[in-house]
Amino acid sequence: MAFDIPTLRTERLDLVPPSAACADLYRTFYTDADASASYGGPLSVVGSWTRLASDLGSWHLQGFGVWVMRDRERDELVGVCGFWQAPGWRRELTWWLLPRHRSRGFAQEASEAAVAHAYDVFGWTTVETYMVDTNDTARALVRRLNGESVERFVAPDGNERELFRIPRPGKPAA
C-alpha cells in the first residue's frame, strides 16, 4: 500500500508523518525509564529506532499509524499521537509526550484531531483506547475526550485493561 501520509494541523501543532528526522525524539523518550514506562520502555537506542521504524511501517502496512507532534511556536517535536495495532491487539488511540512538554494540552489537542480524522477520513465507526489501571494521566485525558468505559479485557500480554470508546470530538459518548 503506497500512499502519502496526511499531515494534520491544529491550533498549535502540526501532526506530521514519522521519519528519520524523529530519531532523537524517539531516543529521548524511549531511553528514559520514567517517561516510557507505560510504553514498554526503557528501550535501547536501537530499540527506539525500531519503534520509530514500526510506527512509520504501520502506515504502509495498515493504512493508519501515529503522527509526530510538532509545536509550531517553538518548532520542536514534542511527542506522538495516533493509532496503533499489532497482530492480536485491538486498534487503539495512543499518544506520548516528552516529560518537559506535558501538562500543556498537547495530547488532548492532537487526540481530538486524530479522532476526528479517524471518523471523517478513515470512515471508522468507532475509536477506542485502553490502558492499564495505574495510568491515571491517560485516564484523565480519556475523560476530557468524553471517553466511555465499555469493557475490561485481557490483552495479548496477559495484562487486564479497561477499554474506552472515544466519540467524535464535540459529541458526547453514545
pLDDT at 170: 78
* Residue 3 forms part of a structural domain: no
Per-residue pLDDT 10s for the chain (174 aa) are 456 999 999 999 999 999 999 999 999 999 999 999 989 999 999 999 999 999 999 999 999 999 999 999 999 999 999 999 999 999 999 999 999 999 999 999 999 999 999 999 999 999 999 998 889 999 999 999 999 999 999 999 999 999 999 999 876 655
Distance CA 57, CA 63 (A): 9
pLDDT at 172: 60
Residue with cell 488532548: 108
* Residue 129 forms part of a structural domain: yes
CA dihedral (34, 36, 42, 44) positive or negative: negative
pLDDT at 174: 55
Here the CATH number for the domain that contains residue 71 is: 3.40.630.30
* Residue 13 forms part of a structural domain: yes
The count of domains in the chain is 1
* Residue 63 forms part of a structural domain: yes
* Residue 171 forms part of a structural domain: no
* Residue 174 forms part of a structural domain: no
* Residue 173 forms part of a structural domain: no
Domain that holds residue 151: 8-166
* Residue 1 forms part of a structural domain: no
What is the model's pTM?
Answer: 0.95
Rounded alpha-carbon distances, angstroms, from residue 15 to 82, 102, 118, 165, 168: 9, 16, 14, 22, 18
Distance CA 68, CA 119 (A): 20
Where does 22-72 have alpha helices with state H? 23-30, 45-62
Q: What is the DSSP string of 69-95?
A: EEETTTTEEEEEEEEE--TTSPPEEEE
